Amino acid sequence: MVLVLVFANSLVAMPLLKLGREANGRGFSIAKGQTIKIQLSSNPTTGYDWHLDKPNLRYFRFVNSGFIRPSGKLIGASGKKWFEIKAARAGNCGVHLLYYRSWEGKKKAAEEYKVNFKINP
């Protein structure tokens, strides 16, 4: 009976960690296997978009990304760009995003977003 309870507890999903602009520059402690969703304001009609800068695939796995359109019909309004990544390995690592126009390159980034993680086993 004890083995059944231990196994059942291991199947409980870890909560999704949702991060926005307020998390920029901060550090978080998470568990291996936990999924992180980063969501930031973006306006692709200006040519700008958020890009993962040198994602560390040793510690994270890219899950998905997308864009949430603005709710109103205002032309040129900002929406939300989001990224989902999953902690794949224990250790310390950061996620770095840059907001730039693809034809100008990351050296001309208008914004930067960094979050550090301590990934626990």
Does 104 reside within a domain? yes
Confidence band for 32, pLDDT divided at 50, 70 and 90: very high
Kindly tell me the number of DSSP H helices and DSSP E strands found in the chain: 1, 8
What is the rounded distance in angstroms from the CA atom of residue 7 to the CA atom of residue 35? 21
Cβ atoms of 35 and 84 closer than 8 Å: yes
pLDDT attached to residue 31: 97
Does 8 reside within a domain? no
Element (H, E) at 31: strand 27-31
Does 115 reside within a domain? yes
pLDDT attached to residue 84: 97
Q: Which residue has the tokens 């998470």?
A: 30
CATH assignment of the domain containing 88: 2.60.40.2020
Does 74 reside within a domain? yes
Does 81 reside within a domain? yes
Smallest Cα–Cα separation from 60: which of 79, 81, 35? 35
Number of domains in the chain: 1
- pLDDT for 75-103, tens place per residue? 777 899 999 999 999 999 999 999 999 99
Does 60 reside within a domain? yes
Its domain, for residue 93, covers: 14-120
The residue ranking higher by pLDDT, 8 or 44, is 44
- pLDDT for 36-82, tens place per residue? 999 999 998 899 999 999 888 999 999 999 999 888 777 777 899 99
Rounded to two decimals, what is the model's pTM? 0.83
Does 2 reside within a domain? no
Smallest Cα–Cα separation from 111: which of 35, 46, 14, 58? 46
What is the rounded distance in angstroms from the CA atom of residue 100 to the CA atom of residue 80? 15
Q: Which residue has the tokens 């999704």?
A: 16
pLDDT attached to residue 116: 97
What is the rounded distance in angstroms from the CA atom of residue 43 to the CA atom of residue 50? 9
pLDDT attached to residue 1: 47
Does 57 reside within a domain? yes
